[in-house]
Amino acid sequence: MLKGSLEVEEPSELPHTWEWSSVGDVCSVNERDPRLRTLPDDLQVSFVPMAAVDAKRGGISDPVDRPLAEVRKGFTPFADGDVIFARITPSMENGKAAIAGGLTNGLGFGSTEFHVMRPGERVLPEWVFHFVRQVAFRNEAKASFSGTAGQLRVPDSFVRSASLPLPPLPEQRRIVEKIERLLEQSQTARDALDRIPPLLKRFRQSVLAKAFRGELTERDPNDEPASVLLERIREERRRKWEDGLRAKGKDPRNAEYVEPEPPDAGGLPELPKEWIWTALGEVIELLQYGSSVKADAPHESGVPIIRMGNIQDGGFDLTSLKHVHEASEDIARYVLRRDDILINRTNSPELVGKSARWDLDGRFIFASYLIRLRADSRVTIPSYLLHVINAQTTIEHIARVRHQVAGQSNINSKDIRSIPVPLAPLAEQHEIVTKLERLLSMSSSIAQLVDRARHRAANADQAVLARAFRGEL
């Protein structure tokens, strides 16, 4: 563990050939080389923004060349062999650090939020780099933060005074070689794990595609065809519309009943003859925008409101709820019912259309950037409709109809109503949902195993570093 002013666990003693030093004793920290003043303005150097430092692998990716005149002032200079370390939250906690190398003309300039450590003769750059990549070091650095919320930084004094266990150079080289061999093995495992989520995504879309082509189920000749069911529901809706006009003293013959516009079947998969392509607007009984009431009520007395960020991975994450005042106007209109579907109507392109089915207890409302759908139970079931919304045909439809406004993608009620729905007979919908949820549950279980394996790999990396700096490698 680290040694320093904070009370942290540390070994009783270092190996006898090691000594305690400090980063400032063996490195120059944030010292600008005066020779930079003598270099010509047109000299090409590497420019490294914070985003170019890979927090996972600890390297610099895709630096760009710039003339020295453009970066000489207002940026942090460093050179090949220097160790750069993010000083600002959250980049520091994420582990953004790298050994500068392969810089154009051996020089780099980057974010002012980098600490720069230039190792002296007694320490290897790799030894310093792996030291600052330890979670234990980052935790101590976080405890030293100064500044204001959102602009918290690790002060220079912390880096200079940080206690560093220092073996002789030959042993540093031996340990670094072993660290990097072990971390490379771990990285190979993580790379293999990283290939699994895209495969699972393709598997889920393949399963949904098969389901909505009718390939997961057998036809039952006793089932009422979806076209017959839908036509009967249409007729019921038309009669209800006529009765509503008569109740208002109006003659339906003097008004025009507008049928929902059917989807364009061009490019859509062929369906079993008992199925029919229809528009989402024909299979719902409610489409409603959420509340725009300001969410500034105290947690204890307010009503929780579901926002875009609360929809995660097809479900709901309630860890960051906001609340609205109970007395807010028309709040009852927005109270969620079990089986309501919420769909995200604005965000970045990949998040527009993100959806989940409400299956929780309690009194919650939903915010204005979400739209509530309620399935018409006479013609479809909520779980079936949710799976349709998550299928590739819907993803492609939303990509075609979404609008760009001020850098945001948006869909409106008309866009949502026009989503093409492959409508199966009602009994077959239940069978499809049962099979889908079994297969998708298996996919989710594998995804959870992958997440746990990634976590174990990260812990193993930190265990390797901790042992290395205790002299146990």
Is pTM beyond 0.85 here?
no
- Output the six-digit token pair for 183: 């971390």
At residue 63, the pLDDT reads 92
DSSP string of 377-411? TTT--HHHHHHHHHSHHHHHHHHHH-EEETTEEE-
Architecture of domain 274-424: Alpha-Beta Complex (3.90)
Output the CATH code of domain 19-167: 3.90.220.20
At residue 285, the pLDDT reads 94
At residue 4, the pLDDT reads 42
> How many CB atoms neighbour CB 79 within 10 A?
17
| Cβ 247 vs Cβ 253: under 8 Å | no
For 36, residues 6+ apart whose C-beta sits below 8 A from its C-beta are 72, 77, 107
**Of 406, 421, 115, nearest in space to 268 by CA:** 421
pLDDT under 50 in the chain at which residues? 1-12
| Cβ 27 vs Cβ 119: under 8 Å | yes
Sign of CA dihedral 239, 241, 244, 248: negative
The secondary element (H helix, E strand) that includes residue 182 is helix 169-194
Residue with tokens 């030959």: 170
What value does the CA radius of gyration of the chain take, rounded to a whole number of Å?
30
- The domains of the chain are located at 19-167, 274-424
Q: Does this chain's domain 19-167 share its CATH topology with 274-424?
A: yes
| Cβ 21 vs Cβ 164: under 8 Å | yes
Distance in angstroms between the alpha carbons of the first and the last residue of the chain: 14
- Output the six-digit token pair for 384: 């079936």
454/396 Cα distance (integer angstroms): 31
Instruction: Tell me the pLDDT tens digit for each residue of 301-328.
Output: 899 999 999 999 889 999 889 999 988 7
Give phi and psi for 287, each to the nearest 5.
-135, 125
Instruction: Tally the C-alpha atoms within 13 A of residue 415's C-alpha that lie toward its C-beta.
Output: 22
